[in-house]
Structure 1
Amino acid sequence: MVIVLLAGVAAGALNAVGGGGTFVALPALVAAGLSPVTANASSTVALVPGTVASAWVYRRDLAPVGGTSTRALTVVSVIGGGLGAGLLLTLPAVSFDAAVPWLLAFATVILAFGRHVSRVVSDAKGRAVGMSPRAVLIGQFLLAVYGGYFGGAVGIMMLAVWSIGLGLDTSAGNPMRVAQLAAIYLSATGLFLIASDALSAPSVLITMLVGAVAGGVAGAHVARRLPAWLLRSVVLTTAVTMTVLYFLGG
């Protein structure tokens, strides 16, 4: 239980600062005796309050992504998150698990070089590069489906897409990333509580939930005070670490 509590704190803090909390929470729940699918659903449920708490800390820092309104982006995240959760409960996860490391590697490369690529393309065309509002919403829907189904590094992927598609700085996009992560998790949680075994081990779930709330609040306060370059370094370090661990089977 101590390990589960500490994993919850770490996962909540990671989600607030840059993403990757699922990769801490999921192994801890599996080690506590939950099946992989149940652990996946339970980790989403446990991380919801911490993510919502982080979003509350960031509420005054929210800024629209590109030309897309916050409301439209949130609605898409809610719908996609619910659909992804439904897929988790109805489809086998074997083939998707095999693709996860490659998805993470792709997101990490885009996150690392996305803004540079955006600037190069912009200079070559002589005008700013920017995704249309429709493209932003389509991309967010696909990410939300992934987030509801698995959730690992979906926040990192969001920043990667916004970075290369809009040239958005990691620090500027982090508050909206946390808010959309909360929307995805809330939608998926509603379905998991009704149709999964997420409540089969209530003591384990509550222990991780408490840790995630503490980590989420603390992580959001810390992230708001970090310089942009340092926050970007933390996000990239998390992305690289999680990608390597997944390729190694960790």
Structure 2
Amino acid sequence: MEPWTTSALLALAAFAAGVLNAIAGGGSFLTFPALVFAGVPPIVANATSALAVSPGYLGSTLGFRAELQRLPGARLRQETLLAAVGGVAGALLLLVTPARVFSGLVPWLLLFATALFVLGPWLARRGGGAPAGAAHPLERWRPLGLLAVAVYGGYFNGGLGILLLALYTVTGEPLLHRANALKNLNSLVLSVLSVATFALAGAIAWGPALLMMVAATAGGYAGAHWAQRLPVAWVRGAVVATGVGMSGLFFVRG
């Protein structure tokens, strides 16, 4: 593949990923496969893809800062610490995974992330909140669940936001806006630290990463405007089709 063709492919994939993330999520279904098809080794592609989509987490977190300010400081410190530890642990786990093993896991991880995306709306309705003044029966499992999800997010970013939102709703978080705020904050924390771990280990392809960050940011800006015009059901359908298609391609590639 010619260098200019590769750059165009990566920029287009990142721009489309930014649009998808702004409207319905699922941008990693485009950035990661594009890097692999451009010849980037799978582990480096995964790390580079995580960096490429990371700017969106900062914008989302800032958008929910009012909700975060209403939460107790002790809870925020506990949750961000768990997200940080899990993100670094997941990144280290990826770095010690043999390339051959990770390549075999990729189609299954993509299928898992696609299934999460399909089930996302249903999961978001599960759990609800406990009656006023009562503790939700699953609330005590939230810290352990957050740590596990953060490890997954550091290892493979696909479906991270859906997993976090599902965790909060099924463990009794009563307010969807607050669940979204915590999801965005913890996604930002674990992504920044996992990407820093990848960078220190030399596992990021910086040229493609910088190009894709710019393109993804532009896509996110465009997607924020298009979100009000495009039917979300159509976009979700396109994301699911992309996830299934990319999984199939990776299965065929072996």
What's the TM-score once normalised by structure 2's chain length? Answer: 0.74
CA distance in 2, matches of 1:10, 1:94: 24
The residue correspondences of 1:66-105 to structure 2 (distance < 5 A) are 69-92=75-98, 93-94=102-103, 96-97=105-106, 99-101=108-110, 103-104=112-113
Name the counterpart of 2:120.
111
Residue in 1 aligned with 2:169? Answer: 163
Give the alignment's Cα RMSD to 1 decimal: 3.7
- CA shift for structure 1 position 235: 8.8
Aligned position for 1:151: 157
1:219 and 1:173 map into 2 onto residues whose CA distance is 22
Query: Structure 2 vs 1, CA of residues 116 and 46 (structure 1 numbering), >3 Å: closer, same or farther?
Result: closer
The percentage of aligned residue pairs carrying the same residue is 31
The yes-or-no answer on 1:10 pairing with 2:16 is yes
Q: Is the 8 A contact 2:64 2:181 kept in 1?
A: yes
User: Cα deviations across residues 15-66 of structure 1 (Å, max 9, x unaligned)?
Assistant: 3444322111101112222111111111112222232233223333447799
Once the 2 structures are TM-superposed, how far is the Cα of residue 82 of structure 1 from its aligned partner? 0.6
For the structure 1 residues 189 and 248, does the alpha-carbon distance in structure 2 shift closer, same or farther, using more than 3 Å as the test?
same
Asked if the contact 2:83/2:190 (under 8 Å) is kept, the reply is: yes
What is the letter of the counterpart of residue 41 of structure 1?
A: A
8 A Cα contact 2:16 2:27, kept in partner: yes
- TM score, norm. by length of structure 1: 0.75
Confirm or deny that 1:187 pairs with 2:187. no
Residue 36 (str. 1) matches residue 36 (str. 2):
no
Residue from 132, 137, 143 that aligns with 2:143: 137
Please tell me whether the aligned partners of residues 104 and 239 of structure 1 are also in contact (alpha carbons under 8 angstroms).
no
Distance of 2:224 and 2:162 partners within structure 1: 16
3-state SS, counterpart of residue 39 of structure 1: helix
Unaligned runs of 5+ in 2: 1-6
Distance of 2:213 and 2:82 partners within structure 1: 26
204-213 or 78-87: which moved more?
204-213
Unaligned ranges ≥5, structure 1: none
Q: Deviations over 1:175-210 (max 9, x none)?
A: 3322221111101111111113313xx332211011
Q: Please tell me whether the aligned partners of residues 76 and 137 of structure 1 are also in contact (alpha carbons under 8 angstroms).
A: yes
Letter in 2 for 1:103: F
How is 1:214-225 mapped onto 2 (pairs within 5 angstroms)? Answer: 214-217=218-221, 219=223
User: 1:138: Cα distance to partner?
Assistant: 1.1
Say which SS state the counterpart of residue 171 (structure 2) adopts. helix
What does residue 64 of structure 2 align with? 58
